[in-house]
Homo-oligomer: A and B are copies of this chain.
Amino acid sequence: MGMVGGGRGAFIGAVHRIAAAIDGQIELVCGAFSSDPQRSRESGADFFLPADRCYGTFQEMIAAEKARPASERMDFISIVTPNHMHFPPAKMALENGFHVLSDKPATFNLAEAKALAAIVKKSGLLYGLTHNYTGYPLVKEARHLVASGRFGTIRKVVVEYPQGWLATRLEASGQKQAAWRTDPKRSGAAGCIGDIGTHAENLAEYITGLEIKELAADLTAFVKGRKLDDDGNVLLRFKGGAKGVLHASQISVGEENNLNIRVYGEKGGLEWHQREPNTLVLKWPDQPMQVYRTANGYLSPAALAAGRTPPAHPEGYLEAFANVYKNFAATIRARQEKRKPTAIENDYPKITDGIRGMAFIEAVVASSKKNAAWTKLAV
């Protein structure tokens, strides 16, 4: 694996490296960790990389790695840069024969996402997207249970992603994470709703298997001087008739990363919270609630495969993130072994998820500009 971005001081780059390392199946062999070559080399040294594989730019990295013998070059690149820098390295890597695993959102806007989908298709290579919350074992169980029909037709979905860290104008202090996320040039058309609202959207669609048909959104920038939304409330209508509510916030003071979802069907419902990710609650009309816990024998194969320890050894965010890497790597290996990946191996977010995410952002922004008018999520 070669990494684009993620040098010293970056948050998500470190997460990606841990996620890649955790199962001992992926080795970081090179990187363009920073646009400053000196800084890139220093970052690489932190990971025990030789200086000649710490590149100053992704262009340089892709070219140099391609020039190496096939058995000695990286297999795929991992993109961990801010949003506006997702598309260029993804495009170039695919066009030069490297698989791509990218941080989300896939691209800066919907048009780019569609362009990228075409490139992925043409290349015949693999493209993965770290919508990491779908990596939790019990999120996979939730998806399995909905698909199994145990809840009947789904009627209602409530999905939330409240955070509080941008309740003040943190970006004005020079905090790097806040700076790019609140900057339209680097973040895109949306702030909060793009950064974390898309995770909520992806989670809802992943678990329910339903597609959002249209939405009505009310975005707000509560913090004075901020150009992008820091809070958004959205009414949802799904294909097939389910309704829902999605809200995301970065000004909900005191909330950490409190992603959570509730789904109700005709015959039962479920509830899951990232805060306590090893618990999934099932609700029934006339029976006691059931509390599913990770790693127990009653879970589906997909949920069991996503765990690494016995029951009640709590696993968390890094392991969920690692599951995206694990399945992506397993799918690459399946290809190397000239076999079809299993359903479990093939379970990682793809460019189609990326396109839906960008379409969601654009629909939300368009709806909000029209005072929350219903707007189609047009892919």
Contacts and interface: CB of A to CB of B under 8 A. Distances in A.
Contacts of A164: 264, 269, 283, 285
A283 B254 contact: yes
Interface residues of A, number: 86
Nearest to A293: B256
A30 to B, nearest CB: 14
Residue picked from A220, A291, A312, most chain B C-beta under 10 Å: A312
Contacts of A158: 160, 247
Given A286-B298, A314-B277, A318-B315, A262 B252 contact: yes
Contact of A288 (B23, B292, B315): B292
Contact of A249 (B165, B168, B264, B281): B264
A319 B371 CA distance: 43
Contacts of A15: 308-309
Contacts of A168: 285
Contacts of A297: 286
A253 B267 contact: yes
B253 A266 contact: yes
A273 to B, nearest CB: 10
A297 B285 CA distance: 10
A168 B264 CA distance: 13
A268 interface: yes
A193 interface: no
Nearest to A255: B283
A255 B284 CA distance: 8
B285 A167 contact: yes
User: What number of copies of this chain does the assembly contain?
Assistant: 4
A24 B21 CA distance: 7
B308 A298 contact: no
Interface string A286-300: 111111110011100
B218 A243 contact: yes
Interface string A302-330: 00000011111111111100000000000
Nearest to A25: B48
Interface string A250-282: 011111111000101111110000111110011
A317 B309 contact: yes
Contacts of A283: 164, 253-255
Contacts of A249: 156, 264
A235 B216 contact: yes
A272 to B, nearest CB: 12
A115 interface: no
Contacts of A317: 309, 313-315
A371 B374 contact: yes
What are the 4 A-B residue pairs with the smallest beta carbon separation, nearest first? A254-B283, A256-B312, A313-B317, A314-B316
6 contacts: A156-B249, A164-B283, A218-B235, A253-B264, A253-B269, A372-B372
